[in-house]
Every structure is written in structure tokens, then in C-alpha cells.
């Protein structure tokens, strides 16, 4: 386990010696990342999220001015610790970009200098990454984002969340999906559809829900009414493409924006 950019490494790392006694291995500082955890046939290098200044400090190299340069150096240091009789897995939390299979995607145009080039990770047999929430963020045979365990944004509503399990004998990965107690869903339809509880399963009604309403007319207290069906409603918006026949698109969009303002005022303040 490694700390990410949203963690306090110091806080998360408290008690890590105790965790290690129960075979939960954690690294939360860059200086500790170079001594691998060895389990059976594999060396695991646990690299927490780090800033370039930490790399300059820990490695004593003022030329490490960005994450990409730092990672090249860190990778080199780790390779020196490689036991040739073992497999080598890197666990990290950073933005990796580029593909080992494509010449058209260079590091500069896909991620800039804050990205680690996938080509610099090739010494490892497998690279298990966190940071990006979408497990399909990178297309590489052995560099894989697991994705977040939960949907942290409505934009992730359609993503399948879970974990990868790696067989260190073959370095083959297998995805195992995890279902949360309450899913996060994004539904589009009319107020009348959503106001009728018989249209939805129990799981749908209990999910964290974002709604896009296709209605063009003002519905007073819409949030409160929708919460009677979806108690975990996290928000709603009015679709810009409501069915309003016979009107030019531009005018419709303008009318919908006005309708949205009225809806908002009515919902928050009871203004009709
Ligand atoms: Mn992150």
C-alpha cells in the first residue's frame, strides 16, 4: 500500500511497523521506497506519491526538476536492488502517459512533464498504479491503473469499479468487480417518470442518484419531490435538449437556460 496525493503520508504511515506484522505493507515516504517487500517469488517496490523536490532531496540530485526526470532516476535506483531470481513489481501513485506500442503519442503531447513515460517503467514485470480513477486510462500490457474503488464523481457513473488480482507466476491480471452498498447512477428522463416509484427497482431508488430532467416547464420544489423517490438524490440538471417542437435550437437553448434559473430559484427559495 502507498500513500496518494490526497493522503497525509505522515498520518497514514503511523503504525506501519505494526501493520507489517500482519502482512499489510505500507510505504508513505520516498526514502523508504527503495527497499522492496519480498513475498515468495516477487520483489514489490512501493512508491508513494512524491513531489520533485522530495526526489531532489532524497536522491541529492538538483537536476530532478520534474516527475518524469525523477522517475527515471528512481527507476534506476530500484533496478539496482533487483534480485535477478525474483519478479519485480512497482506499486505507485502518479500520472503515467504514453504507450509503448505507439509512436504517435509522445510524452510531451499526452501528459507533459508532470507525467511519467510508460517507456521508463519497462524494467518492471508489472506496474500497479493508482491516481487516475478510470481503470482504462492507460492501454499497456503491464502498466495498469486499478481505478478508484468507488465512483467519486457523476462522470464515473458508468464505470465498473473493482480490483486487479495479479498472478506473479504468469504476471497475468484478472479484474474482480466490487459492488458498493449504494451505487452511483446518472439517469435521464422526465419528472413524471422519476416521480413514479413503480418505475424503479429498490436498488435504483437506494442509489446515489444524479438526474437530468428533460422537462421544459417549471416544477416547483423539484428536489424535495424527487427525494421522495430517490432519498440519496445528489443533484439534478435540466437537459438543454428538452422536447420543444417547432422552435429553433438557439431559442430553445436560451429558453432552457432561463427555465433552469427559474427552477433553481423556485427550488431554493420557493419563488414561483
Ligand atoms: Mn491521486
Interval 77-91 mean pLDDT:
98
CB–CB of 140/118 below 8 Å? yes
Q: Tell me how far the alpha carbon of residue 148 lies from the centroid of ligand 1, in angstroms.
A: 9
Cα 140 to its chain centre, rounded Å, is 17
Dihedral of the CA atoms 109, 111, 115, 120 (nearest 10)?
-40
Query: How much is the pLDDT for 244?
Result: 45
3-state secondary structure at position 101: coil
Judge whether residue 91 has pLDDT over 90. yes
Centroid of ligand 1 to alpha carbon of 170 (angstroms): 28
Query: Which domains, ranges and CATH numbers included, belong to the chain?
Result: 9-177 (3.60.21.10), 184-269 (no CATH)
Residues, beta carbon < 5 Å, ion ligand 1 = 4-5, 131
pLDDT at 259 over 70: no
pLDDT score at 143: 95
Q: Band of the pLDDT at 261, cuts 50, 70, 90? A: low
> Residue 42: which pLDDT band, with cuts at 50, 70 and 90?
very high
Q: What is the pLDDT, as a whole number, of residue 85? A: 98
Distance from the alpha carbon of residue 77 to the mean position of ligand 1, in angstroms: 23
- Model pLDDT, residue 99: 57
pLDDT of 265 above 60: no
Average pLDDT for the chain: 86
Give pLDDT, residue 97: 87
Residue 269: pLDDT over 60: no
Q: Find the Cα–Cα–Cα–Cα dihedral 185, 190, 194, 200, rounded to 10°.
A: -70
CB 44 within 8 Å of CB 91: yes
Q: What is the pLDDT of residue 114?
A: 80
CA of 67 to the centre of ligand 1 (A): 14
Distance of CA 184 from the midpoint of ligand 1 (Å)? 20
The C-alpha cell at 52 is: 520533485
Ligand 1 centre to CA of 84 (Å) is 31
CA of 109 to the centre of ligand 1 (A): 21
**Across residues 128-146, what is the average pLDDT?**
93
Cα of 7 to ligand 1 centre, how many Å? 9
* H-run or E-run covering 236: strand 233-238
The pLDDT tens digits of the residues spanning 156-175 come to: 999 999 999 999 999 999 99
What confidence score (pLDDT) does residue 240 get?
63
How many whole angstroms from 10 Cα to the centroid of ligand 1? 16
Q: From CA 101, how far away is CA 251, in angstroms rounded?
A: 47
pLDDT score for 139: 85
pLDDT of residue 171: 95
Indicate if the pLDDT at residue 237 is higher than 70.
Answer: yes
**pLDDT digits over 181-227, tens only?**
999 999 999 999 999 999 999 999 999 999 999 998 889 999 999 99
Q: How far is the CA of 143 from the centre of ligand 1 (A)?
A: 16
pLDDT on residue 271 = 40
What separation in Å is there between the alpha carbon of 128 and the centre of ligand 1? Answer: 13
pLDDT above 70 for 135:
yes
- Number of separate helices (H) and strands (E) present in the chain: 9, 12
Q: What is the pLDDT of residue 257?
A: 54
| Residue 12 CA to ligand 1 centre (angstroms) | 15
Supply the pTM of this predicted model.
0.80
Amino acid at each position: 500500500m502507498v500513500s496518494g496525493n490526497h493522503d497525509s503520508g505522515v498520518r497514514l504511515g503511523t503504525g506501519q511497523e505494526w501493520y507489517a506484522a500482519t502482512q499489510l505493507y505500507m510505504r508513505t515516504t520516498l526514502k523508504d521506497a527503495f527497499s522492496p517487500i519480498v513475498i515468495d517469488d516477487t520483489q514489490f517496490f512501493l512508491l508513494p506519491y512524491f513531489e520533485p523536490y522530495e526526489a531532489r532531496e532524497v536522491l541529492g540530485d538538483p537536476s530532478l526538476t520534474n516527475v518524469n526526470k525523477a522517475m527515471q532516476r528512481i527507476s534506476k535506483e530500484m533496478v539496482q536492488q533487483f534480485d535477478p531470481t525474483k519478479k519485480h513489481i512497482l506499486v505507485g501513485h502518479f500520472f503515467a502517459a504514453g504507450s509503448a506500442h505507439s509512436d504517435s503519442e509522445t510524452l510531451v503531447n499526452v501528459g507533459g512533464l508532470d507525467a511519467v513515460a510508460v517507456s521508463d517503467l519497462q524494467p518492471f514485470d508489472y506496474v500497479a498504479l493508482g491516481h487516475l480513477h478510470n481503470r482504462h486510462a492507460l492501454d499497456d500490457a503491464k502498466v495498469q491503473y486499478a481505478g478508484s474503488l468507488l465512483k467519486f464523481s457523476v462522470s464515473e457513473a458508468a464505470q465498473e469499479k473493482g480490483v486487479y488480482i495479479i498472478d506473479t507466476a504468469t504476471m497475468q491480471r484478472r479484474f474482480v468487480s466490487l459492488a458498493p452498498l449504494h451505487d452511483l447512477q446518472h439517469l435521464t428522463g422526465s419528472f413524471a417518470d422519476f416521480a413514479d416509484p413503480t418505475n424503479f427497482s429498490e436498488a435504483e431508488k437506494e442509489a446515489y442518484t444524479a438526474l437530468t430532467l428533460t422537462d421544459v416547464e417549471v416544477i416547483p420544489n423539484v428536489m424535495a419531490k424527487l427525494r421522495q423517490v430517490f432519498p440519496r438524490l445528489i443533484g439534478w440538471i435540466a437537459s438543454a435538449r428538452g422536447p420543444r417542437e417547432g422552435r429553433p435550437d438557439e431559442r430553445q437553448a436560451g429558453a432552457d437556460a432561463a427555465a433552469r434559473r427559474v427552477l433553481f430559484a423556485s427550488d431554493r427559495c420557493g419563488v414561483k
